[in-house]
């Protein structure tokens, strides 16, 4: 193989490195090491995994065929003419999964390891040294086979070639298996296994390696949509999406949800978001994840963290719709987050996946998303392929890398692409194509721009206290309308409803009543309806009527002159006294300080409790509340009863100790001190070298220390091998408590 | 981008820009399947609901027409999901058909076997269904016809009822067309109903629903049972029928608390039908007393629940529902659909007003400020007492007096909920008061006096909400109501909407206490008015004189 690699032209080597990029990192020193690396198992595995079904099937047929390869034979295995597979074989050679020997193409040896059962075929009979009947006699043999034997063969023929017949297999099957073994149609590598040799399988398959060779990619089928319709639908989705993102930001800007301790968004908050956006939870999760992926939303990083829009959102919001879309679309294409996982329960986990949480991060998402979109992009213009077809096509392109959840992923990607306007009514939109072609943001925006409705700068105000924007509103007006009214219905147009709460919200945000009415008059072609005008003025009438603030102390006094003197007193200026009613002053300074200051300056204030009572001063006589002390523990006196019991116990202990001493004395061999491992090792090594025995203290699996007379033979890897009681044993050194030469 | 008058929202509402040149065309295209929800000045909101779509199916429209109408008139791309949903929903109607089989009687037939299998397994539907005839048909006992339709609608597979109707006992009824004729829209309503077999006609108050009923009777030419809300309304039906048709006094019977006559045309009140003694409906026999050929339900939106249950057993008779609104405060629109029938005719108020059949109205909300003592009392009141406290505030009385004085000489109604308040008002205004306790004879005497102009001011309780013909009332002042009932607002507005002899503008005043639940409920009702396209103004009590 090294020779083959050395003989490749520069272009061929470049192709190899391009297609198996792992070979180039780190750069191999020379061509021999390139060849060596190309045949490592990890690299070959990677190369085989990235093959499409056509290449994989040809490679499997090549592995099943005899070496060196005969193109005709490989073709026969696949049931095609040699010309159909030549290009594929050539490709496999470029990938260095095949190599050219002087006799012809051969399969790289590692490939055989990676594909142990190519196309579900078992090992060759010749390799496993078993006899099989001549292949041309097999059909005749099978004519006499019992039904059970046929059934077993039918199961094994198209692989996997291995059958397990556990004890307790029904007698009928066992008889069938016996018949097959007797006639050498299968062999049995162990007591309960049957293996179908490759030659027999091929004979049963009538010389074919694959039941369904698929050398051509499956076509996508589905409904065809007019290009204009596709782009219009995409535009409509984008309008919706941008409105949803704005609404999310408006909602979370006001009421940011908490970040869970494990990261992510609480299920309850997601539900609330879904109801605010008036979409289902899957879509709400998508909008949140997308906004997060685009950097428009983040954990605010505070001590009690919450999710809130970032400054990037404010900047983003100022751009026209097409540019805003470009930012979102690109973020989606590159993100490794998988919104469709939100709400599912991953295998082995107890809880569900939270939106914005660590579990919704799924690196394969990006690759799979790209693969799905590439399938769509490869389809004819305007084709909206069936979801199942996309799954099948994806399976053909990556047969060995199909995730178990392929259908879910395909459905999720197609759904998200639709929400994002990358597709419209299932077919890829022109802007979606631009996205996949890796165009610049400006080009992306330009592709989407014609399909988005022109932003408008007016609303229609109606007497039922609604305002209708018959199209997407320009940035500033949209923000104002969302502030002053609640969104009631969304789509091409937006319906806003004014109510007391929404108007109050606007006034709370610092707008004055004249500003609000002015802004509405400017935004509307018609005069502000009387009921709306009345509502706003009515809310404003009461807005701020009552004021709430926090202070740390108040001074009340029925004599206004005294209070006037306090405000005028310069010495009291550090108290920052303020008059909030003729008889009340307030101060942001603590009450004790205020008291002290006033007393120092000749006033005679009394302190007041929160419920208005007078605090009677207890100056100089501080008391602390009673503290509970633990009662002292006293010992009981030693009485007769205790003494009698104790003496009995002492006697019994003494007897036991004597017995133990006696037993130790009766043991064979010396007493065993505890020795440290280094010493133990030295003792054991010496004994092994001198072929002498040692007494060992050995702690067994139950923690008991056994005394063993041991004949060590060699010490290695932390173990000592030798014999004890005539049986070979291997002991771990770390379990030896002590060793003494015997 | 096409410049249509319609904007299709993702929440299945349709916004129609009324000033758009193609607005009328679009309105006609979407009217069959979308319910008009709000009709304020610039943009009308329609809603697409499954019931609306099935109404359209029942009227012979198909999904393609609906989708086409949406796409043709839409300004922006129509959300695809909505189109799919429309097609799916409409497709559900008519998969199941109730029909008459010469051999087996009433059968349920399907064009889609899985649907039949699905509904047959439903635990509420199973008991309503008899033996299976073949793969596509099952026997239905005629008495379960109504219940089955109700349940099928609940599971989303509404059945088309093609089992037909009994003709009933024939009885000659003709319209007495000497000096009047049905207005075009009334004729359309009668035709729409007769063509569909059974169903509901939606017309605003004052648009002549009684005449639609009479028209339907003249087409049916069969004995008729008319169910109305109360005795006064029953008398009014009787007078109208005597005046407008060939029926004579002997042919029309009244079946109410006072009288129990069963004649070829019998007018019964809901109340007498739903009277129970010891848990048994004592007057149920009325429904089978004759072989009725037509049953008319007045004010369908008020139909009490027991009547629904009785109606379920009357599915073989032709049923005509008359109402001003399909909106029911209890949300039982689906029962109206399945038991009485789909909507057969509907005209927006404003259109009929524009045709000059009902009077234009000027709606004014007058806000009074409670004196400080009352505000305090209100603040400490139990929540359940607050409405009464705020709506009955005596501070309203002088305001009412001022409004009455302003419209001196015009026929004026003062409408309220609470009897004490009404009594006090009647005393201050020196006017007669009519409440539920007023004997029927006295009521009719007063109404008659009001009608001929002998008296120009009446104080009435909610008995006046329904079906009393007070043709010359041109000013209504409401001082309190049944909380925020939109339906009541529609009824009360209806009081002043009858066409005036001299084309005067009707006035509709609501007096509410500022900053209380009274104002909140009023806002509810006003929203309804604004949505119906009636501009209203809010004025402070001090400015009342300026409203004239």
ipTM for the assembly: 0.78
Mean local confidence (pLDDT), A184-212: 79
Half-sphere exposure of A142 (CA within 13 A, CB side): 17
Tokens of B290: 């004759």
- Does residue A468 have a pLDDT over 80? yes
Domain membership of residue B65 as a residue range: 6-92
Distance CA A101, CA B543 (A): 107
C-alpha angle B225-B231-B236 in degrees, rounded to nearest 5: 75
The 3-state DSSP class for residue A49 equals helix
Tokens of B547: 């409203």
Write down the CATH number for the domain with range A2-115. Answer: 1.10.10
Q: Which of A678-687, B150-159, B460-469 has the highest mean pLDDT?
A: B150-159
Å between B1 CA and nearest CA of chain A: 8
Domain match, B516 and B395 both: yes
Q: Which of A8-12, A384-388, B486-490 has the lowest mean pLDDT?
A: B486-490
Q: DSSP secondary structure string, A697-730?
A: EEE-TTSPEEEEEEEEEEEETTEEEEEETTEEEE
Helix axes B396-406, B419-429, angle to 10 degrees: 50
Domain match, B72 and B109 both: no
Of B334, B353, B372, the position where a domain reaches its end is B353
At residue A245, the pLDDT reads 92
The 10s digit of each residue's pLDDT in A123-149 is: 777 777 777 777 777 777 777 777 777
B375: chain A residues, CB-CB within 8 Å:
none
At residue A292, the pLDDT reads 93
Domain match, B100 and B86 both: no
Asked whether the beta carbons of B365 and B528 are under 8 A apart, the reply is no
Distance CA B232, CA B424 (A): 25
Phi, psi of B69, deg, nearest 5: -60, -45
Asked whether the beta carbons of B473 and B498 are under 8 A apart, the reply is yes
Tokens of A298: 């983040």
Q: Please judge whether B9 and A236 are an interchain contact, meaning their C-beta atoms are less than 8 angstroms apart.
A: no
- Does residue A398 have a pLDDT over 90? no
Å between A451 CA and nearest CA of chain B: 8
At residue B350, the pLDDT reads 61
| CATH number of the domain encompassing residue B478 | 3.40.50.300
Q: Is residue B481 part of a domain?
A: yes
Tokens of A38: 């190309």
Distance CA A506, CA A519 (A): 12
Phi, psi of B225, deg, nearest 5: -110, 125
Q: Give the single-character DSSP code of A257.
A: P
Tokens of B302: 């008020």
Domain match, B329 and B222 both: yes
B475 has which bridge partners?
B412, B507
Q: Is residue B175 part of a domain?
A: no
The 10s digit of each residue's pLDDT in A181-192 is: 777 788 877 777
Sequence-distant (6+) residues with CB within 8 A of B164 are B100, B197
B-facing residues of A in 141-200 (CB < 8 A) are none
Radius of gyration of chain A (CA): 43
Number of H helices, E strands in chain A: 30, 22
Asked whether the beta carbons of A395 and A387 are under 8 A apart, the reply is no
Residue A420 banded pLDDT, cuts 50, 70, 90? very high
Domain match, B124 and B85 both: no
Tokens of B129: 């269904």
Residue whose pair of structure tokens reads 């080009």 in the numeric block: A443
Helix/strand/coil (H/E/C) assignment for every residue in B176-228: CCCCCCCCHHHHHHHHHHHHHCCEEEECCCCCCHHHHHHHHHHHHCECEEEEE
Residue whose pair of structure tokens reads 């295995």 in the numeric block: A77
At residue B547, the pLDDT reads 46
Domain match, B239 and B263 both: yes
Q: Is residue B65 part of a domain?
A: yes
Q: Where are the alpha helices (DSSP H) in B221-314?
A: 231-244, 270-273, 285-289, 305-312
**What residue ranges do the domains of chain A occupy?**
2-115, 135-204, 224-451, 460-542, 553-600, 672-741
A456 has which bridge partners?
A473
The 10s digit of each residue's pLDDT in A334-381 is: 999 999 988 888 877 778 889 888 888 888 888 889 888 988 888 888
A661 vs A376, higher pLDDT: A376
- Does residue A169 have a pLDDT over 80? no
At residue A498, the pLDDT reads 92
Nearest to A119 by CA among A216, A205, A45: A205
Of B92, B112, B142, the position where a domain reaches its end is B92
At residue B329, the pLDDT reads 65
| B10, B17, B18: best to mutate for the A interface, most A CBs within 10 A | B10
Q: Tell me, yes or no, if B40 comes closer than 8 A to chain A by beta carbon.
A: yes
Domain match, B197 and B106 both: no
Mean local confidence (pLDDT), A417-421: 91
Residue A690's alpha-carbon distances to A678, A740, A742, in angstroms, are 18, 14, 12
Q: Please judge whether A529 and B535 are an interchain contact, meaning their C-beta atoms are less than 8 angstroms apart.
A: yes
Q: Give the single-character DSSP code of B340.
A: I
At residue B353, the pLDDT reads 64
Mean local confidence (pLDDT), B479-490: 72
The 10s digit of each residue's pLDDT in A280-332 is: 899 999 999 999 999 999 988 888 899 999 999 989 988 888 999 999 999 99
Distance CA A327, CA B517 (A): 48
Q: DSSP secondary structure string, A646-702?
A: HHHHHHHHHHHHHHHHHHHHHSSS-------HHHHHHHHHHHHHHT--EEEEEE-TT
C-alpha angle B12-B18-B21 in degrees, rounded to nearest 5: 115
Tokens of A484: 């002053």
The shortest CB-CB distance from A489 to any of B9, B76, B77 is to: B9
Of B35, B70, B92, the position where a domain reaches its end is B92
Residue B393's alpha-carbon distances to A577, B373, B386, in angstroms, are 44, 11, 11
Residue of chain B nearest A451, judged by CA positions: B1
Does the CA dihedral A398-A402-A408-A413 come out positive or negative? negative
Mean local confidence (pLDDT), A456-470: 88
At residue A209, the pLDDT reads 79
Other C-beta atoms closer than 10 Å to the C-beta of B286 total 20
Mean local confidence (pLDDT), B41-50: 86
At residue B546, the pLDDT reads 47
Mean local confidence (pLDDT), A426-445: 88
**Range A135-204 has CATH code 1.10.10:** yes
The shortest CB-CB distance from B41 to any of A229, A233, A462 is to: A462
Asked whether the beta carbons of A295 and A309 are under 8 A apart, the reply is no
At residue A618, the pLDDT reads 63
Q: Is residue B170 part of a domain?
A: no
Q: Please judge whether A463 and B41 are an interchain contact, meaning their C-beta atoms are less than 8 angstroms apart.
A: yes
Domain match, B121 and B264 both: no
| A491, A523, A532: best to mutate for the B interface, most B CBs within 10 A | A491
Domain match, B61 and B140 both: no
Distance CA A430, CA A421 (A): 10
Tell me the CA end-to-end span of chain A in Å, nearest whole number.
Answer: 60
Q: How many residues does chain A have?
A: 742
Asked whether the beta carbons of B466 and B302 are under 8 A apart, the reply is yes
Q: Tell me, yes or no, if B10 comes closer than 8 A to chain A by beta carbon.
A: yes
pLDDT, chain A, mean: 84
Q: Which of A144-148, A151-155, B297-301 has the highest mean pLDDT?
A: B297-301
Asked whether the beta carbons of A390 and A375 are under 8 A apart, the reply is yes
Distance CA A712, CA A716 (A): 11
Domain match, B100 and B230 both: no
pLDDT, chain B, mean: 82
The count of structural domains within chain B is 4
**DSSP run (H or E) holding A235:** helix A227-254
Distance CA A158, CA A176 (A): 18
Asked whether the beta carbons of A587 and A552 are under 8 A apart, the reply is yes
Other C-beta atoms closer than 10 Å to the C-beta of B239 total 13
Asked if residue A741 has a cis previous peptide bond (ω within 30° of 0), the answer is no
Q: Tell me, yes or no, if A275 comes closer than 8 A to chain B by beta carbon.
A: no
- Does residue B499 have a pLDDT over 70? no
Which segments within B384-517 are labelled E, that is strand?
Answer: 412-415, 432-434, 457-460, 475-478, 506-513
Residue whose pair of structure tokens reads 């395909």 in the numeric block: A410
Distance CA A23, CA A43 (A): 7
Q: Tell me, yes or no, if B37 comes closer than 8 A to chain A by beta carbon.
A: no
Q: Is residue B172 part of a domain?
A: no
The 10s digit of each residue's pLDDT in A23-62 is: 777 777 788 788 888 888 888 888 888 888 888 888 888 8
Q: Tell me, yes or no, if B401 comes closer than 8 A to chain A by beta carbon.
A: no
Q: Is residue B24 part of a domain?
A: yes
Residue whose pair of structure tokens reads 């016996």 in the numeric block: A178
For domain A672-741, give the fold: SH3 type barrels. (2.30.30)
Q: Please judge whether B527 and A464 are an interchain contact, meaning their C-beta atoms are less than 8 angstroms apart.
A: yes
Domain match, B150 and B221 both: no
A-facing residues of B in 74-93 (CB < 8 A) are 74-80
At residue B55, the pLDDT reads 83
The shortest CB-CB distance from B38 to any of A453, A464, A491 is to: A464
In percent, the amount of chain A with pLDDT more than 90 equals 14
Q: Is residue B257 part of a domain?
A: yes
At residue B277, the pLDDT reads 80
C-alpha angle A239-A241-A242 in degrees, rounded to nearest 5: 70
CA B354 to chain CA centroid, Å, is: 20
Helix axes B184-196, B209-220, angle to 10 degrees: 50
Other C-beta atoms closer than 10 Å to the C-beta of A299 total 16
Distance CA A260, CA A304 (A): 10
Q: Is residue B388 part of a domain?
A: yes
**DSSP run (H or E) holding A332:** helix A321-334
Distance CA A474, CA A419 (A): 22
At residue B312, the pLDDT reads 75
At residue B548, the pLDDT reads 45
Q: Is B236 exposed, middle or buried (0-12, 13-18, 19+ CB in 10 A)?
A: buried
Tokens of B398: 């002088």
Mean local confidence (pLDDT), B18-34: 84
Q: Tell me, yes or no, if A462 comes closer than 8 A to chain B by beta carbon.
A: yes
Sequence-distant (6+) residues with CB within 8 A of A331 are A290, A293, A294, A295
Decide if A2-115 and A672-741 have a common fold.
Answer: no
Radius of gyration of chain B (CA): 25
Tokens of A547: 């004021």
The 10s digit of each residue's pLDDT in A261-274 is: 888 899 999 999 99
Half-sphere exposure of A220 (CA within 13 A, CB side): 27
Distance CA B533, CA B40 (A): 4
A-facing residues of B in 495-524 (CB < 8 A) are 515
Domain match, B79 and B100 both: no
Residue whose pair of structure tokens reads 């097999």 in the numeric block: A138
- Does residue B484 have a pLDDT over 70? no
Residue B185's alpha-carbon distances to B181, B190, B211, in angstroms, are 11, 9, 11
């Amino acid at each position: 193989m090294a020779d083959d690699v050395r003989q490749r032209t520069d272009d061929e080597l470049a192709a190899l490195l391009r297609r198996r990029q792992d070979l180039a990192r780190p750069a191999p020193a020379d061509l021999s090491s390139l060849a060596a690396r190309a045949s490592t198992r990890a690299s070959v595995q990677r190369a085989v995994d990235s093959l499409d079904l056509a290449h994989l099937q040809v490679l499997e047929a090549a592995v099943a065929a005899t070496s060196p390869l005969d193109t005709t034979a490989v073709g026969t295995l696949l049931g095609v003419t040699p010309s159909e597979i030549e290009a594929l074989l050539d490709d496999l050679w470029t990938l260095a999964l095949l190599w050219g020997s002087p006799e012809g193409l051969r399969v790289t040896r590692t490939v055989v390891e990676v594909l142990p059962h190519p196309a579900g075929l078992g090992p060759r009979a010749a390799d496993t040294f078993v006899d099989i009947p001549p292949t041309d006699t097999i059909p005749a043999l099978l004519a006499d086979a019992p039904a059970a034997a046929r059934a077993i063969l039918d199961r094994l023929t198209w692989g996997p070639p291995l059958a397990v017949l556990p004890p307790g297999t029904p007698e009928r099957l066992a008889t069938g298996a016996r018949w097959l073994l007797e006639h050498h149609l299968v062999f049995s590598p162990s007591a309960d296994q049957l293996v179908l040799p490759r030659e027999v399988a091929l004979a049963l398959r009538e010389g074919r390696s694959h039941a369904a060779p698929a050398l051509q990619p499956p076509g996508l089928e589905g409904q065809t949509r007019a290009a204009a319709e596709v782009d219009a639908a995409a535009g409509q989705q984008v309008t919706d999406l941008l409105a949803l993102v704005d609404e999310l930001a408006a909602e979370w800007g006001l009421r940011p949800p908490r970040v869970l301790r494990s990261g992510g968004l609480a299920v309850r908050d997601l539900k609330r978001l879904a109801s605010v956006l008036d979409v289902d939870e899957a879509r709400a999760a998508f909008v949140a994840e997308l906004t997060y992926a685009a950097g428009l939303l983040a954990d605010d990083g505070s001590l009690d963290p919450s999710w809130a829009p970032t400054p990037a959102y404010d900047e983003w919001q100022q751009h026209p719709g097409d540019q805003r879309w470009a930012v979102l679309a690109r973020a989606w294409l590159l993100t490794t987050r998988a919104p469709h996982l939100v709400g599912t329960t991953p295998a082995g986990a107890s809880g569900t996946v939270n939106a914005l949480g660590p579990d919704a991060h799924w690196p394969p998402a990006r690759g799979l998303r790209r693969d799905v979109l590439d399938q769509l992009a490869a389809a004819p213009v305007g084709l909206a392929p069936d979801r199942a077809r996309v799954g099948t096509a994806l399976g053909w392109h990556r047969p060995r890398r199909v995730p178990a959840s392929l259908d879910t992923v395909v459905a999720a990607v197609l759904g998200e692409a639709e929400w994002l306007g990358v597709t419209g009514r299932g077919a890829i939109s022109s802007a979606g194509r631009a996205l996949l072609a890796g165009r610049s943001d400006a080009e992306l925006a330009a592709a989407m721009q014609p399909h988005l409705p022109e932003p408008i700068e007016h609303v229609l105000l109606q007497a039922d206290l609604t305002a209708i924007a018959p199209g997407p509103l320009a940035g500033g007006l949209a923000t104002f309308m969302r502030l002053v009214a609640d969104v009631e219905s969304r789509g091409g147009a937006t319906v806003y409803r004014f109510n007391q709460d929404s108007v109050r919200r606007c006034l709370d945000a610092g707008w004055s009543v004249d500003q609000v009415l002015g802004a509405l008059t400017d935004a509307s072609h018609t005069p502000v309806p009387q009921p709306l005008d009345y509502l706003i003025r009515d809310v404003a009438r009461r807005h701020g009527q009552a004021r709430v603030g926090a202070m740390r102390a108040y001074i009340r006094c029925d004599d206004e002159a005294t209070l006037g003197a306090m405000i005028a007193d310069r010495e009291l200026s550090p108290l920052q006294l303020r008059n909030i009613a003729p008889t009340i002053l307030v101060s942001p300074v603590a009450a004790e300080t205020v008291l002290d200051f006033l007393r120092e300056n000749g006033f005679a204030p009394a302190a007041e409790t929160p419920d208005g009572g007078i605090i009677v001063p207890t100056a100089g006589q501080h008391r602390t509340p009673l503290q509970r002390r633990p009662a002292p523990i006293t010992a009981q006196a030693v009485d007769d009863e205790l003494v009698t019991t104790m003496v009995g116990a002492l006697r019994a202990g003494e007897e036991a100790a004597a017995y133990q001493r006696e037993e130790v004395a009766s043991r064979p061999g010396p007493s065993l001190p505890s020795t440290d491992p280094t010493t133990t090792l030295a003792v054991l090594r010496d004994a092994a070298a001198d072929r002498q025995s040692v007494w060992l203290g050995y702690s067994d699996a139950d923690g008991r220390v056994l005394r063993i007379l041991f004949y060590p033979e060699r010490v290695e890897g932390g173990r000592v091998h030798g014999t004890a009681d005539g049986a070979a044993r291997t002991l771990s050194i770390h379990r030896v408590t002590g060793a003494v030469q015997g | 981008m096409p410049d249509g008058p319609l904007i299709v929202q993702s929440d299945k509402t349709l916004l129609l820009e009324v000033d758009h040149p193609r607005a009328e065309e679009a309105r006609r295209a979407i009217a069959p399947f979308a319910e008009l929800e709000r009709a304020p000045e610039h943009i009308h909101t329609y809603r697409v609901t499954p019931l609306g779509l099935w109404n359209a199916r029942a009227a012979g429209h198909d999904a393609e027409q609906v989708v086409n109408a949406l796409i043709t008139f839409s300004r922006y791309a129509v959300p695809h999901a909505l189109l799919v949903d429309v097609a799916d929903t409409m497709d559900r109607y008519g998969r199941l058909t109730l029909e008459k089989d010469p051999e087996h009687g009433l059968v349920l037939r399907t064009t889609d076997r899985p649907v039949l299998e699905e509904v047959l397994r439903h635990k509420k539907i199973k008991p309503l269904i008899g033996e299976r005839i073949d793969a596509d048909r099952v026997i239905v006992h005629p008495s379960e016809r109504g219940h089955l339709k109700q349940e099928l609608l609940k599971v989303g597979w509404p059945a088309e009822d093609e089992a037909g109707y009994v003709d009933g006992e024939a009885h000659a009824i003709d319209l007495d067309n000497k000096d009047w004729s049905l207005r075009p829209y009334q004729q359309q309503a009668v035709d729409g109903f007769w063509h569909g077999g059974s169903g509901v006609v939606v017309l605003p108050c004052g648009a002549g629903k009684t005449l639609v009923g009479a028209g339907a009777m003249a087409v049916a030419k069969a004995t008729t049972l008319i169910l109305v809300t109360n005795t006064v309304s029953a008398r009014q039906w009787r007078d109208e029928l005597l005046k407008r048709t060939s029926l004579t006094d002997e042919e029309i019977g009244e079946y109410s608390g006072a009288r129990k006559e069963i004649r070829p045309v019998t007018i019964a009140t809901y109340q007498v039908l739903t009277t129970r003694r010891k848990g048994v409906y004592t007057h149920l026999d009325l429904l089978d007393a004759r072989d009725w050929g037509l049953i008319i339900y007045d004010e369908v939106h008020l139909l009490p629940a027991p009547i629904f249950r009785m109606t379920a057993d009357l599915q073989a008779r032709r049923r005509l529902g008359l109402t001003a609104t399909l909106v029911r405060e209890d949300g039982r629109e689906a029962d109206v659909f399945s038991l009485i029938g789909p909507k057969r005719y509907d005209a927006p108020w404003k259109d009929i007003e524009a045709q000059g059949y009902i009077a234009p109205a000027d709606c004014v909300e007058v806000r009074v400020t409670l004196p400080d003592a009352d505000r305090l009392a209100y603040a400490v009141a139990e929540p359940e007492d607050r409405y009464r406290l705020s709506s009955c505030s005596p501070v309203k009385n002088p305001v009412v007096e001022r409004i009455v004085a302003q419209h001196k000489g015009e026929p004026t109604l003062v409408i309220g909920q609470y009897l004490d308040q009404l009594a006090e008002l009647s005393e201050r205004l020196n006017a007669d008061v009519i409440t539920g306790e007023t004997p029927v004879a006295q009521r009719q005497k007063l109404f008659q006096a009001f009608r001929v102009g002998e008296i120009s001011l009446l104080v009435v309780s909610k008995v006046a909400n329904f079906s009393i013909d007070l043709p010359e009332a041109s000013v209504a002042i409401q001082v309190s109501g049944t909380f925020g009932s939109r339906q009541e607002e529609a009824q009360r507005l209806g009081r002043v909407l009858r066409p005036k002899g001299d084309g005067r503008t009707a006035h509709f005043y609501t007096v509410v206490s500022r900053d209380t639940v009274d104002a909140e409920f009023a806002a509810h009702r006003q929203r309804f008015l604004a949505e119906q396209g009636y501009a209203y103004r809010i004025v402070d009590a001090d400015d009342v004189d300026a409203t004239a």
